[in-house]
Amino acid sequence: MISHNFQFKLPVSIYFGRNSIEKLPEICKSIGSQALLVTSEDILHIAEKISNVLDNAKINYEKYFLESPEPDCDLIDSSAKKLSAKKFDFIIGVGGGSVIDMSKSLSIALTNPEPIWEYANLSYRPPKILTEKTIPVIAIPTTSGTGSEVTPYAVLSNIKKNQKGTIQQSEIFPKAAFVFPEFMISMPKELTASTGIDAFAHALESYMNISKQSPISEMLSIEAMKIIFSYLPKTIEEPNNIENRKQMAWASTLSGISIAHRGTTTAHAIAEVLGGIMKIPHSYAVAISTYPVLKETLPYAEKELALIYEHVFSTTDGVEYENAKLFVDSVYKLIKKCGLSRNLNNDISNLPENLDNQVLEYLNNYKFRPLKQHCVEFSNGKLSKIITEIIGT
């Protein structure tokens, strides 16, 4: 029963499945004739398939290869400067979340005058207003995790500040998203695992986000969690199974739609801060942050967690606390099956001294808004406990 007002808008046309690639030339030609194709060298075999489609359709394009694992502000600004003499009608991003975020960032940077970091929406200051139209983006994801193909977000790294920030602008919703599960078969096991948990975290955090009402997002996030519980372990065990890849690609898209309308909370806030300081991949940072946050949430949100458990596992049996704990335990088991029940200290030697204090300081200084969106607003003492567990100090 709907008991509140809400809005739901998804200006992205989604084309899902192998044969949908046949629509790509038509969509491109409806926008313009000159494209910027953004991709990365590690997926050249996939980028070449898109290049062939564009060549056969006689669509002009210039290739741009992302030079770093995640978009850095200096790289975005310098790339936009180099490309500014050319006119692009649209941008095609072929790759993981970083490539698609780079495509979105360039869609702003190529037409708007300020350094790209000025458009990041940080907790302590609003972003600069876009004064010029952005360049339309067509997103073709090659991972099942970020959901960036259906969101108005682009995550940026600011190396000078050791920070990560997010652009949140409806103008950077992709015009179209082409989701081909076949493109995801070549994903390495570790990337399949971490991006899968990132997608799960999107679904979970959007459901638990108290800042907005969106019953449609709640439905989609529950469905995404159901799929991921069932198919992520299978996908890791049988990476070439196209049905598994198809299910995970769909779950990632559903999770992306969910966060597009409700946003993330505490685990993502900590992960972004940790990623900015330590230069670790976003999906990995989210994967090791999710369970510690959820475990500390349990004593204060039994009702919310029990409700998620009942929806995801289709049961009404059991008492509230038991079901809430069963859900938290199920998430831990999922993360463990994916080989991600670790802490940062397990994977990185010689961590900086006082890293936990620095993470807490940055959370309070520039990432405090997502903390207030979680169903539990933790004290600094509780946050320190969570951060210590994530780091493993």
Residues 286 and 284: their CA atoms lie apart, in Å, by 5
Dihedral (Cα; 194, 183, 136, 36), 10-degree rounding? 110
48 and 158 within one domain: yes
281 and 201 within one domain: yes
Query: Does 4 fall in a domain?
Result: no
CA distances from 188 to 88, 143, 144, 347 (A): 33, 10, 12, 18
354 and 206 within one domain: yes
Query: Which CATH number is 106's domain given?
Result: 3.40.50.1970
Domain that holds residue 67: 13-179
Which pLDDT score, from 0 to 100, does residue 214 have? 87
Query: Does 184 fall in a domain?
Result: no
pLDDT in 10s for each residue of the chain, 393 residues: 555 677 788 999 999 998 888 999 999 999 999 999 999 999 999 999 999 999 999 999 999 999 878 889 999 999 999 999 999 999 999 999 999 999 999 999 999 999 999 999 999 999 999 999 999 999 999 999 999 999 999 999 999 999 999 999 999 999 999 999 999 999 999 999 999 999 999 999 999 999 988 899 999 999 999 999 999 999 999 999 999 999 999 999 999 999 999 999 999 999 999 999 999 999 999 999 999 999 999 999 999 999 999 999 999 888 999 999 999 999 999 999 999 988 999 999 889 999 999 999 999 999 999 999 999 999 999 999 999 999 997
Query: Does 111 fall in a domain?
Result: yes
227 and 372 within one domain: yes
114 and 54 within one domain: yes
Which pLDDT score, from 0 to 100, does residue 1 have? 53
Which pLDDT score, from 0 to 100, does residue 137 have? 98
CA-wise closest residue to 13 among 132, 130, 150, 145: 150
Query: Does 221 fall in a domain?
Result: yes
| Six-digit token string for 230 | 């069932």
159 and 204 within one domain: no
Query: Does 352 fall in a domain?
Result: yes
155 and 109 within one domain: yes
Q: Across-strand partners of 357?
A: none
Which pLDDT score, from 0 to 100, does residue 213 have? 82
Q: What is the 3-state secondary structure (H, E, C) of the chain?
A: CCCCCCCCCCCCEEEECHHHHHHHHHHHHHHCCEEEEEECHHHHHHHHHHHHHHHHCCCEEEEEECCCCCCEHHHHHHHHHHHCCCCCCEEEEEECHHHHHHHHHHHHHCCCCCCHHHHCCECCECCCCCCCCCCCEEEEECCCCCCHHHCCEEEEEECCCCEEEEEECHHHCCCEEEECHHHHCCCCHHHHHHHHHHHHHHHHHHHHCCCCCCHHHHHHHHHHHHHHHHHHHHHHHCCCCHHHHHHHHHHHHHHHHHHHHHCCCHHHHHHHHHHHHHCCCHHHHHHHHHHHHHHHHHHHCHHHHHHHHHHHCCCCCCCHHHHHHHHHHHHHHHHHHCCCCCCHHHHCCCCCCCHHHHHHHHHHHHCHHHHHHCCCCCCHHHHHHHHHHHHCC
313 and 295 within one domain: yes
**pTM, 2 dp:** 0.95
Phi-psi sector, 178: left (phi>0), alpha (psi -120 to 50), beta: beta
Q: Indicate the number of domains in the chain.
A: 2
> Do residues 51 and 37 make contact, with C-beta atoms less than 8 angstroms apart?
yes
Query: Does 8 fall in a domain?
Result: no
31 and 137 within one domain: yes
Domain stop point among 144, 179, 214? 179
> Do residues 221 and 254 make contact, with C-beta atoms less than 8 angstroms apart?
yes
281 and 158 within one domain: no
246 and 140 within one domain: no
| Six-digit token string for 22 | 């046949």
Which pLDDT score, from 0 to 100, does residue 16 have? 96
Residues 186 and 205: their CA atoms lie apart, in Å, by 28
Query: Does 3 fall in a domain?
Result: no
Which are the contacts of 49, defined by CB distance < 8 A and separation ≥ 6? none
Domain stop point among 179, 199, 226? 179
Which are the contacts of 75, defined by CB distance < 8 A and separation ≥ 6? 67, 68
211 and 161 within one domain: no
Query: Which CATH number is 196's domain given?
Result: 1.20.1090.10
Query: Does 142 fall in a domain?
Result: yes
* Residue that has been written with the tokens 């679904």 in this structure: 203
Domain stop point among 124, 144, 179? 179
